[in-house]
Structure 1
């Protein structure tokens, strides 16, 4: 058996020679002075050589360990030479299967509106890709995932952390299904974060509604952001339905808003009566953005709608972020309107909540329109009253 001294002191000769260790391992001394580790093995009655690197970059101990691993493969009937080639091909394939590549593929497969995909991609680019976007999915561990989630929560964005967790898990699900990953590392840390206890969807009191609307009116931000916020409150639509509103959806003469089916959560067209205040708001916006597709176009790209993140940013600036989120508007509207005695079915129809019976659903939306028109005009007038009391 060799010692390190044997390896270190071996001098080159005119011809190549070998220093044998044991079980097929030897050090090959070349006339050039290069000392190369080799493992000679026999597989299927055929002798072959397996290169293990050069001394002293690969020490005697390391060469023995590598030889031991190669010997295990031979016992299984696997050529270490071919195995190395396969591993190289696999690494090359894995290097192209980064998290970002598969995430983009996952997004492309989703049957979502472009604005929804853009919003989700924006979250990935801000929160996830900087940490793991360039890593092959097989190299990503649960520790990577937990680090992303902890950092996101630490900066005060637990809701974003929850969205990132769901999205990352979905991307890994695709990777596993297409044999590009073995497991979903999100699973191990799925319960690591504390539940988000912020009561963003609780109903605001009448006094809180008035204060919120007064604060938002005076926040000094973008005119479009203010009006998108007002339209959401006047109609009780979802935040994304307000900021993505398209001019072709409105019939201001009839005071109606027909939101296209593909923009609705339930994928059904939703017809809303517009109170006088909403019609006035939209008429004020017409000279400003009427030449564009969207009522509230994106500041940087007028061919795209405003992001509903603009509403959240304004609320954060005003100090409302921990007390209320735009999604809580509908909860507040439903609660207050029920308290005021309006019929539950009429309120549900206004909120486009799914009615399981298709015939009843069609009947409700057609029959309740006039009743909803009166209710929403009363609601708009109450918002003005509650603001005036602040």
Structure 2
């Protein structure tokens, strides 16, 4: 039988040679200096006994002070001491006695480990995010939340083993550390992950469902529409924001067109046809993933022509302050609102709520307003047959809206237009 000293001192030769241990185990010393453990065995195939070879791994010396975890990691890397190689030989012999080829068994175990890794909560969650038809920044934000809140506790668990108690622990920790909004977001995300797992037969139930009401509901405070006086005051305050004229211009574009905040801050020059007074927002930049054309009132066209002399050499109308190749962040709008004292009273997205409310008061048809906002028709039947974008009607409507904004900014009392006149 071999000793560890023999294994350690074995030198490479011009040709491979073997150092035999016992019961089919030997150490093969190769010309390149590699020392590999081999187990030779015979298995019956049909009526014939054939000789087979099982590669256990390479010879290694256990470092002084090696911990159990370090030793496990070394063995998983295919490096075994003499004693460990004998243990592996014993396991392989036991399989052979059962008629199982140890080489084939190891392949099967590797496949099973790979499948287990692919079926962890983190793996399925990343797959769920990747499948979503979201903007890249939305995917990144959702994945960041999962990485911070859920993965530390659930990430390595096989998704079929996640229990309601695990989910409750995540939700309670999220509510305590990050607040109810994040807890509500992570609850929805985790439920979506399990919906995918169930659909792909990797889980049989959603453990989020039993504990979905364990925490107090998140009472999101949606900002209501501004009245005429508030609109006028806000627009005057925005005009007085002298820190960055691009921020002021982005606010104005958002108000004149009722676009989403990110659609304004990330606007590109190649989207605009100023001669035709049209803004064509590409499908990948809209929430509905559908290209959206927006009529531009004369005030918007004049502003864009003026700012083109400043930022026209860049791709974006409102380039980022530090990296001019990137667009302005919509967080810039919120920061500006904080500076002028409107934080908590109004959010950029409330512009659309305000515009919808006031245009309805003016008597404009709801279809025109909904198309201007880029909303999808909620009625499936109507959505199938109604493909009109009402551009001919929206163009004068938005000009009238821009004129209305000018008027309230000047402090005038504006009387809403009657429905009959608008129609």
Q: 1:280 to 1:96 in 2, by over 3 A?
A: same
1:117-163 deviations in Å (ceiling 9; x for gaps): 33433444455445544555456544554455455555776444433
Q: Which residue number corresponds to residue 365 of structure 1?
A: 390
Q: 1:343 to 1:382 in 2, by over 3 A?
A: farther
Q: Which residue number corresponds to residue 335 of structure 1?
A: 357
Q: Which residue number corresponds to residue 94 of structure 2?
A: none
Contact 1:198 1:323 in 2 (8 A): no
Contact 2:295 2:398 in 1 (8 A): yes
Tell me, yes or no, if structure 1 residue 378 matches structure 2 residue 403.
yes
Q: Which residue number corresponds to residue 296 of structure 2?
A: 274
Aligned counterpart for 1:165 among listed residues 159, 181, 187: 187
Q: Which residue number corresponds to residue 277 of structure 2?
A: 255
TM, length-normalised to structure 2: 0.58
Q: What SS is found at the alignment partner of 2:410?
A: helix
Contact 1:235 1:272 in 2 (8 A): yes
Q: Which residue number corresponds to residue 111 of structure 1?
A: 133
Q: 1:158 to 1:286 in 2, by over 3 A?
A: farther
Q: Which residue number corresponds to residue 348 of structure 1?
A: 370
Give how far 1:169 is off.
1.6
Q: What are the within-5 Å matches in structure 2 for residues 1-390 of structure 1?
A: 93-95=115-117, 97-125=119-147, 127-129=149-151, 132-133=154-155, 136-138=158-160, 140-150=162-172, 153=175, 158-216=180-238, 224-298=246-320, 303-312=325-334, 314-315=336-337, 320-355=342-377, 356=382, 360-362=386-388, 365-382=390-407, 384-385=409-410
Give how far 1:250 is off.
0.7
CA distance in 1 between counterparts of 2:148 and 2:326 reads 19
Q: What SS is found at the alignment partner of 1:368?
A: helix
CA distance in 1 between counterparts of 2:354 and 2:214 reads 31
CA distance in 1 between counterparts of 2:336 and 2:177 reads 17
Q: What SS is found at the alignment partner of 1:257?
A: strand
Q: 1:297 to 1:99 in 2, by over 3 A?
A: farther
Q: 1:118 to 1:147 in 2, by over 3 A?
A: same
- More displaced 10-residue stretch of structure 1: 301-310 or 189-198: 301-310
CA distance in 1 between counterparts of 2:164 and 2:412 reads 49
CA distance in 2 between counterparts of 1:152 and 1:318 reads 32
CA distance in 1 between counterparts of 2:169 and 2:337 reads 27
Q: 1:125 to 1:288 in 2, by over 3 A?
A: farther
Q: What SS is found at the alignment partner of 1:258?
A: strand
CA distance in 2 between counterparts of 1:249 and 1:377 reads 21
CA distance in 2 between counterparts of 1:142 and 1:122 reads 23
- More displaced 10-residue stretch of structure 1: 226-235 or 261-270: 261-270
CA distance in 1 between counterparts of 2:244 and 2:215 reads 35
Contact 1:273 1:376 in 2 (8 A): no
| Aligned pairs, number | 309
Give how far 1:324 is off.
3.3
Give how far 1:235 is off.
1.0
1:283-320 deviations in Å (ceiling 9; x for gaps): 34434543343333456665554444444455466665
Structure 2 residues without counterparts, runs of 5 or longer: 1-107, 414-423
Q: 1:271 to 1:103 in 2, by over 3 A?
A: same
Contact 1:119 1:307 in 2 (8 A): no
Structure 1 residues without counterparts, runs of 5 or longer: 1-85
